[in-house]
Amino acid sequence: MTCQEMILSEEFLDVIVDYDVIEEILEGADVEFCYREIDAGYGVAHVRRSQVRPISIGYYGYATIPKLYGLMQAGEQVFDSSPLAAMGNIRVQNPPLALQGSGVIIGFVDTGIDYKEDAFRREDGSTRIISIWDQTIQTGAPPEGFLYGTEYRRADIDRALASPEPETVVPSTDTNGHGTRMASAAAGSLLGQGLTFRGAAPLADIAVVKLKGAKRYLRDYYLIDDRAEAFAENDIMEAVKYLQQMAVAFSRPVVIVIGLGTNMGSHDGTSALDSYLNIVAGRRSRAVVVGGGNEGDKEHHYENFMPSNVEIRVAGQMKGFCAEIWGSLPDAYSVSIRSPGGEVSPVIDFRNGMDRNVSFIFERTRIQVGIVLVEKDAGDPLIFLRFENPTPGIWTVTLTASVRRLSGDGQYHMWLPIEAFLEDSVTFLQPSPDVTLTEPANASQVITVSTYDSYTDSWYAPSGRGYSRNGSIKPDLAAPGVGVYTALGETDGSCMAAALTAGCVAQFLEWAVVDGNAYAVDSRGTKSYLIQGADRPGNIRYPDRQWGYGRININGTFETLARL
């Protein structure tokens, strides 16, 4: 079987590694696998499932199993430029600066793009999309250096647009619409229907990766709702690699924008995807923008100090859900679980490398407990709970110390899945709205934005809030994300805040790199410039868990530069 077939096959596990540990995982056995390096020491092994142990945290480790990411879009609602105006974007689009993203590439990792939309064309009718890598189509040639999917270049898309049946030439579509909304908010332009529509960077070129869906075995392991869009961490990392390479291939600055998120992970910026994004963000002429998610009001985060009881309400019958408990060194934790019917599991403590299965006499529920004394990337204790067929009602998780040193305070955080991954409501009875930024928004070097309503000048309640689990300052900035006009109508959510911010970043990189004013700038430098120009109303102390270092104002950034 070829490596391409292994990448796509449900018969093969995907294992993320940051060094060559394939022989350790396979224990020297004669196992069919292939290994592909992504970048900067990260790689993915594809291993035949029938020849290795079943997937589990205890055996493979938490970091090696790809996490699943969902779409960070809330709801869908005549063009109103208020969100752009609130960011200072329109003023910068107009003279004297006249920055509209010209010479900059904005890359989207998402559900694809409807390339037929007028919002993505030039005045002569040709496309502004320089490439689409569709990971879901295997009939054409993949991008150079990649092994799956099909790449469509600008010439292919222009031929499709000239055809009476475009999809016979370029069959890539966006059936969900999320990627099309993101791209049009960031970089769309349209004249027609009595409206003047423009995105934040209407002259930027566009590159798109349409992600393939996560493999069924991963969806089953994480107990993801069958209706949910879910994408694997390793495919997202491949997408980022593809997009960031364009800075060299096209000799242009590249803005990568990610409107995806998950509650899986340590929430301290140390996951494989977080770490890789930090590496990309440190490279010249690149910038990475990530939305903070829509989990702030979903009651999916809890924090406390042990010993304590965590109460989880399961509203209805469902196949299950996963939960993660992240502790802090030097503490070690013991866990027991009480069912709605009153049965209590044995106390389970830390014995690294082991998974425990808990069954109840009067319940159909089966709980798998994965325990990691020191998680490889974060370096902290982790308890991974997998509830299968949970009985509706109140479940109680009790946390106590199994080993306690005097310097430890027993603090822990617990997360339930993002709303999109759940079949029915699963919430904490005493949730915390803080530390609710979804991953990969906690990556330290990326530009992380929370969401506010520019029409009412108020906080957007679903927006994720900081800081990160280890206290690092996140989000960096707040951006408008309510009532944002796109090619497919008005849309709310974290994804819109990220898209508009990406357009502002493209404006800055046009000035800095294309016009030669700060040629060596990277994502970290761009973030600093944006923070310098942000609006900071006087009734808030900055940095803030909701607003970060303030509300993005790209015109304010240039006004600050003019004063220097």
Confirm if 211 and 111 have CB atoms less than 8 A apart. yes
Q: Is residue 218 in a domain?
A: no
Do 490 and 404 lie in a common domain?
Answer: no
Q: Is residue 77 in a domain?
A: no
- 3-state SS class at 531: helix
- 3-state SS class at 378: coil
Handedness of CA 57, 59, 63, 67 (dihedral sign): negative
Q: Please give the torsion angle defined by the CA atoms of residues 334, 340, 343 and 345, in that order, rounded to the nearest 10 degrees.
A: -20
Last residue of a domain, one of 428, 460, 478: 428
pLDDT digits (tens, 9 = 90+) for 3-16: 999 999 999 999 99
pTM value is: 0.95
What is the predicted pLDDT for the residue at 20?
A: 57
Mean of per-residue pLDDT scores for the chain: 92
Q: Is residue 196 in a domain?
A: yes
pLDDT digits (tens, 9 = 90+) for 83-99: 999 999 999 999 999 99
* 321 contacts: CB under 8 Å, gap ≥ 6: 223, 314, 387, 390, 416, 417, 421, 422, 426
pLDDT digits (tens, 9 = 90+) for 185-201: 999 986 544 446 789 99
Do 446 and 491 lie in a common domain?
Answer: yes
Strand partners, 324: 384, 415
pLDDT digits (tens, 9 = 90+) for 430-439: 999 999 999 9
Q: Rounded to whole angstroms, how far apart are CA atoms 317 and 324?
A: 21
Confirm if 385 and 322 have CB atoms less than 8 A apart. yes
Q: Is 183 exposed, middle or buried (0-12, 13-18, 19+ CB in 10 A)?
A: buried
What's the farthest any 2 CA atoms get from each other in the chain? 74
Do 21 and 132 lie in a common domain?
Answer: no
Q: What percent of the chain has pLDDT over 70?
A: 93
What is the predicted pLDDT for the residue at 351?
A: 62
Higher pLDDT, 205 or 27: 205
Residue 357, Cβ neighbours under 10 Å: how many?
10
Residue 471 pLDDT greater than 60, yes or no = yes
Residue 469 pLDDT greater than 70, yes or no = yes
pLDDT band with cut points at 50, 70 and 90 for residue 318: very high
Looking at the structure of the chain, the number of domains it has is: 3
What is the predicted pLDDT for the residue at 133?
A: 98
Residue 313 pLDDT greater than 70, yes or no = yes
Q: Rounded to whole angstroms, how far apart are CA atoms 241 and 238?
A: 5
Residue 353 pLDDT greater than 60, yes or no = no
Q: Rounded to whole angstroms, how far apart are CA atoms 150 and 140?
A: 5
Do 138 and 241 lie in a common domain?
Answer: yes
Residue 557 pLDDT greater than 60, yes or no = yes
- 3-state SS class at 503: helix
Residue 394 pLDDT greater than 70, yes or no = yes
In this structure, what are the phi and psi dihedrals at residue 171, rounded to the nearest 5 degrees? Answer: -80, 0
Last residue of a domain, one of 45, 71, 97: 71
Helix pair angle (494-509, 523-533), 10° resolution: 100
Q: Rounded to whole angstroms, how far apart are CA atoms 219 and 231?
A: 9
Q: Rounded to whole angstroms, how far apart are CA atoms 374 and 343?
A: 30
What is the DSSP track for 201-213? STT-EEEEEEPPP
Do 62 and 96 lie in a common domain?
Answer: no
Q: Is residue 434 in a domain?
A: no
Do 326 and 453 lie in a common domain?
Answer: no
pLDDT digits (tens, 9 = 90+) for 144-161: 999 999 999 999 999 999
Residue 76 pLDDT greater than 50, yes or no = no
Tell me what the mean pLDDT of segment 204-216 comes to.
98
Supply the CATH number for residue 160's domain: 3.40.50.200
Strand partners, 78: none
Confirm if 153 and 130 have CB atoms less than 8 A apart. yes
